[in-house]
Amino acid sequence: MSKDAAKNRYEKIKHLGEGQFANVYKAKDTETNEFVAIKKIKLGSRHEAMDGVNRTALREIKLLQELHHDNIIGLLDVIGHKTNIQLVFDFMETDLEHLVKDRAIILMPEHIKNMVLQMLLGLEYLHLHWVLHRVSLIGLQFQDLKPNNLLINLQGRIKIADFGLARFFGSPSRNYTYQVVTRWYRAPELLYATRSYGVGIDMWSVGCIIAELLLRVPIFPGESDIDQLVKIYSVLGTPTVEEWPGMEKLPDFITIKPMPAIPLKSVFTAAGDDLIELIYQCLRFDPNKRWNATQALHCYYFKSIPYACDDCDLPLPCTSRSSVFKRRRRDYVNDDDDTPTKFRRRLELD
């Protein structure tokens, strides 16, 4: 297909937002009549390209062309131009942040279990393919695993998105910039400026997101890096060198007054012991002791009742609802089997 033909294939409908390097549009694929999202990346000048704009775009393309999973955003097409690159993605109606903030939505245990399961399935795939969701080079903008990077479509499918700065982490000796995660979801080792880390930073973010699904507000809303540590320690207690060997050797380590831990059962009063165990294992101070995504997926929480609901039964924010969309969502259900679709998918992996 020629560049002009590819460009004419997509009819832009609405401007959805703008970032430092890109504009995002809702569009319609005139060949399939399906909605898509187009991320128009500005390539800028040669000087800007040296600062990473071009490399960021190319990195996102390279990664997404190699990643294929139900819970990873799909790259459908790439349209090149002299001044920009347009990436065509699956269109996703909303994100986890909007869902959590919508007070009209009551999140039942089976809803939360489904969302955590989908997030972990996508993250497990990334980690098995040696990709950290949020590792960047010095000098580039910092991204992260957080609720508004977990997109949701009308069928209730959750997809991890925004791979502009994701990188392969296969080299154990590689050093990275530590400012990679939005502060509220940032692991303590990043707050202490470690430059060598692995999947533990993503799993800490998972723990924070699960907590937010339960509390409906961020659990550690720090206003600075120091305040972030205080917020964390005020709930989990101040770590000791026995709990976290080597923490005192991290570049920006500072001593913070000892604070006792609050029992997680007192923080998450509606959560069962199995879910509290999952949160605890994600929020271990020592990153080497945190569960990885595969360990989390095999924990008792996902085998206990209530099972995760079907994707199509997830509630959506008010702006995403319509009778037509609800009808399309119900088409996703397999009526021949009473076992939730997502739980069946998990059983097949065990």
Q: At what angle do helices 109-128 and 200-215 cross, to 10 degrees?
A: 170
342 is in an annotated binding site: no
Known binding residue 281? Answer is: no
23 annotated as a binding-site residue: yes
**52 carries a ligand binding annotation:** no
Asked if 331 is an active-site residue, the reply is no
Query: Binding site annotation covers 87?
Result: no
H or E element, residue 85: strand 84-90
Provide the pairing of β-strand 158-160 with 150-152: antiparallel
Tell whether 44 is in a known binding site.
no
Asked if residue 154 belongs to a known ligand binding site, the reply is: no
- According to the annotation, is 39 in a ligand binding site? yes
Q: Which residues contact 339 (CB under 8 A, 6 or more apart)?
A: 307, 347
Residue type, 11: E
Q: Print burial letters for 170-200: b (CB count within 10 Å at least 16), e (below 16).
A: eeeeeebbbbbbbbbbbbbbbbbebeebbbb
Nearest alpha carbon to residue 236 among 267, 192, 198: 267
Is 334 among the annotated ligand-binding positions?
no
Which listed residue (95, 102, 144, 225) is catalytic?
144
Q: Which residues are part of a known binding site for ATP?
A: 16-24, 39-40
Which residues are known catalytic residues? 144
Q: Which residues are part of a known binding site?
A: 16-24, 39-40
